[in-house]
Amino acid sequence: MGGFKLNVLFYLGSKNRMFSNESFRGRVWRRSALSLALGMSLAGIAGEAMAQQSTGAIFGTVANASPGSSVVVESVDNGSKRELKVDADGRYRASQLQVGNYRVTLMDGGKAVSTRDNVSVTISGSTEVGFGGTTPTSAAQTLEGVSVNASALPQIDVSSVDTRSVFTAEQLQKIPVGTNVAAAALLAPGVVAGDSRFNTDGKARLAIGGSGISENAYRINGYNVTDPQSNETFFEMPFFAIDQAQVLTGGAGAQFGQSTGGVVNIVGKRGTNEWKGSVRIDWTPESLRSDPKNLYFAKDPEDAGYGDLVGYNHGGAGIDQRFGSDGKLRQYRKKTKNTEILYSVQLSGPLIKDKLFMYAAASFQKNDGQEVTGLASYSQNGNLTAGTANNQASGYRDRTVKAVKWYTKFDWNITDNHILELTGMADNTRRDNDVYGWSYASLSKLGRRPDQDTNSKNNNRLYIAKYTGYITDDFTVSALYGRSRTIDPNLSIVPNIPYVRANSDSPVVNQIHNYLSDANQRPASNGENKSDGWRIDLEYRLGDHDLKGGVDHQTMKTKTGQASANLAAFGGEYLYTADPTKTYAQGIVQQTRLANGGNYKLKLKSYYLEDSWQVADRWLAYIGVRNESFENYNSFDKVFLSKKNQWAPRLGVSWDVNGDSSFKVYANAGRYYLALPTGVAVRGAGGSLFTTQNFAFNGIDPTNDLPLNLVALGPVESANSEFGQSRDPSTARIKGLRSHYQDEYILGMDKQINDQFTVGARAIYRDLKSQVDDTSDPRPVCKYMAAHYSDYSSVQDCLNNFNYQGVIFNPGRGAEFNVNIADSGQPVNLRSIKLSKEDLGMPDPKRKYLSLNVYAEHPFSNNWYGRLEYTWSHSYGNTEGQVKSDIAQQDVAASQDWDYPEFMQYANGNLPNDRRHQIRGFGYYQLNPEWMLSATATANSGRPKSCIGAWFRDANGVFTDPSQGYMLRATAGGAYHVCYGTPSPRGAKGNLPWSYSLDLGVTWSPAFADHKLAFTATVFNVFNTQKVTVYEERAMGGPVDDGSHNKAGIPNGGNPLAIYKRAVDYSAPRAVRFSVQYDF
């Protein structure tokens, strides 16, 4: 374990460490550090920035330097050396250094004059090492992060204007935190957990700086590992192979782009001149894990709709009487158990001393558990429905998750001026679910159902090569190439059974057996993601200017798809519902057909130029510009979205107020663009199928629950006209489409109070300027067609006969695009449509984010380290971004929000990722060489609560759907910000409760093992405070019909939903983890 190393680089420049004496600060080091700091920050990295964010720098001033003076920077870890001449002003700088420990020596006439040991270079950080004058010579100090020595002071980096958090390997080992990157990232300010319903693969999604979960970037050793299909997830290296983890949260330089959220940047460990290794076991037993809370229906989901017969014309449950499910059990979770064990091993050392080094790590994690997956439903009399009282087919599973990760890195110092790095890694996960039936009547599992088992695996590979060349003291070149591949096969064998369900108000609900499990409703096809990219960066010092420029390219490819189970054999999925027209006593059945998929591609290109200019002794200015382009391809390998020459300016300034680095004021402004991931083409530009149709029936086949003798009650419907037809690219998006982009402004200060404490504050303002989504409203299109073409006799004729597929557009702007009026299978027959903003009737997109972060930090000294911070933030507007947490809609840029203008009325308010108050605190105390105590505490105010439903009443008092079809499906949820006839803006229903967690740890490193053996016990959520984190916002569902979609011609105002207001998820229960590690 050795001495204590604290490497934190937190927001607002807090960990942007500085030195204490002005005599060692020249103009050159300031501009170099600022450009580096800006370049490594967050607000705009996504698919491309690969090279420089995994390195750091050392610089300084030599007082009274002689003409022959030079400085040798030597890696203690691998022996590499660089000798730099001291310039006429006594300054030197070594850039593009690998993170690690260094020795810095002043040379004069070929002889060593003075040496500084224990110099730490952190990710994106710059460390000042001076000689002579009045700067302390006993130790170096880091500009941005953590000092190596326990005695070093946390002084301020007056050269940085960005916002970041850096966690070192030692810190991640000392504080109580989960063994995954997301757990660590959630300790950074402005980072909150996304809606847990998005975590379908078991990985938490992050919302950073008020942005959506699809607006972040994740990278390893400088290469993007973000999922190209959704831009929401990433794969990981073994947790204890992480050398440093950086969370970037604002103020990025021109080097970086393609992100409007945050960046999580991981640098892996590397080999040194010393052979060393470790083995570790982490065990979290089921017996010491508290039970998660059960989920219940709300006691009063009817809200204002209770007793309202006219509004619905339905007369069913929840209208003239309370739901039979009110206050009853929805999901039993007391049987949710999980035991986790994680084995980790590391080995590193020199293959050739001072020349060739290797590092290797591997981990094997196994989770064994069981859980109830079935959901209870109730008849109006309050009794369980037959399908959930005793579900013989599914509802309970034993699950096993096995994750195997490995990571290797080779570093070759070809010469001291030429370095080659090779990285390889894998992240493989296999999930096996053994399915049983489940009885909600007895709260017990039933017989084994191997035919319903689900199995999947996810195999990821990543390879990176990087070259760094120190051509001269002032000129550095770096080049990186990487490629990744993800294979995601579906190993499940879906039984030859249709997917059939019944609503609780269906007259035949107790005849349905739920033969096919929910997990097999829409099986995915075998998936695959690929990426490859390269980047070249040049850096050159010229007088008072530190110039950088570069170019980068990346290509991402996706193969994906899914379909209704056994679609060809049974025609789709079936849902029995009550008949809103009361014509059919046994109700009706709705058939849903879904199928999509193909091969998709995204190309990203950019170049940049930036200058860090030392304007005056205490003032440094940063000027940068970035040009970005992207192309999205559909499944026919045709470009359907293309944006070129998008210019993103970046500006920054830093003021060293007192001239001694004790007080800094800084500001930053920039524009950041975001490309659309490959998955946007699946529904937006492909030949997707998603239809519904209602039928009458006169019997049910007891062997498979299929309806008998179907009689169609209306045409096949599709809310977005997804009938499986191929699509001309010009009909998929508007002409002159603008990218999703955002402007950001930062104002901050840092102040060193004394040798023990540093405090600071930072304000951020983000303003979404342009959004990309789809719209499906045929009304303005048909109005234009009727006025300019003769294909349809009237607007109504067009609405009745034209299948408008919708278009990807910019909300709040006019739209020019083509539509295809040809029937399916016929040659393309295009019509040009040109609509103004007023024609479309859409409001301007609005998403604004304001935050103020304040912190206080005590560096590691006097045997303890601690950091406490508070963040006030407000995320508000009418759009969350590319996804929609309100209803857990995950399709990027294909949310229901902008499909119809009425959907956006009353939409303005507090957004789902708004957490007005956030408190973070963590630290540790070394009692003696054998014992250490640690703690992490977090508190977050609750998520805003909203209510969405049908539109207002018509003249007859019946609730309506202006889209004339969006809520026609019986399975449709609410689409309007109207709650039982009352406008209900976002957040109008208040907030969920605060969530709290206190995690405590204790470590014993016995002297008899030379402190190389460590035993740790960690308790997460000590007080077991489980609070609601997600609740159901849909108050009303379909069918909403004005009478034109049913043979009886009877209007229906939809259905109140029994699930409204229920808790969907709680914060995690208490768990205990035991760890043993031996270092050798």
Instruction: Quote the pTM value.
Output: 0.87
Please enumerate in sequence order all residues whose Cβ is within 8 A of that of 88, keeping only pairs 6 or more positions apart, or say none. none
Predicted pLDDT at 362: 98
What pLDDT score does 151 carry?
32
Q: Where are the beta strands (DSSP E) in 719-846?
A: 740-752, 758-770, 773-775, 807-809, 815-820, 830-835
Position 657: which residue type? Answer: V
So what's the pLDDT on residue 314?
52
Q: What is the pLDDT of residue 42?
A: 29
pLDDT at 1045: 81
Cα 989 from Cα 28, distance rounded (Å)? 55
Domain boundaries, the chain: 167-268, 295-331+927-1080
Structure tokens at 519: 């997990």
What single-letter DSSP state applies at residue 885? G
Buried/exposed code over 60-77 (b: 16+ C-beta within 10 A; e: otherwise): bbbeebeeebbbbbbbbb
- Cis geometry, peptide bond prior to residue 1039 (ω within 30 degrees of 0): yes
> SS3 for 908-964, per residue?
CEECCCCCCEEEEEEEEEECCCCEEEEEEEEEECCCECCCEECCCECCCCCECCCCC
CA distance 578 to 587: 4
The Cα 914–Cα 437 span in angstroms is 40
> What backbone torsions phi and psi does residue 52 show, to the nearest 5 degrees?
-90, -10
pLDDT along the chain (1080 residues), means of 10: 32 30 29 33 32 70 85 89 86 85 88 85 75 49 32 57 85 94 94 93 91 92 91 91 90 86 92 96 97 94 66 59 89 94 98 96 97 93 92 95 97 94 96 96 95 93 96 93 93 91 90 90 91 95 90 94 92 92 90 92 95 89 94 90 94 90 92 92 81 94 95 86 83 93 95 90 96 94 96 94 92 95 86 97 97 94 93 97 92 88 96 97 96 97 95 89 88 90 94 97 96 97 97 91 82 87 96 97
Q: How far apart are CA 901 and CA 241, in angstroms?
A: 50
User: What CATH code is assigned to 167-268?
Assistant: 2.170.130.10
For residue 183, report the phi and psi dihedrals to the nearest 5 degrees: -60, -40
For 132-183, the three-class secondary structure string (H helix, E strand, C coil) is CCCCCCCCCEECCCCCCCCCCCCCCCCCCCCEEEEEEHHHHHHCCCCCCHHH
Contacts of 603 (CB under 8 A, 6+ apart): 553, 554, 555, 556, 630, 631, 633
SS3 call for 646: strand
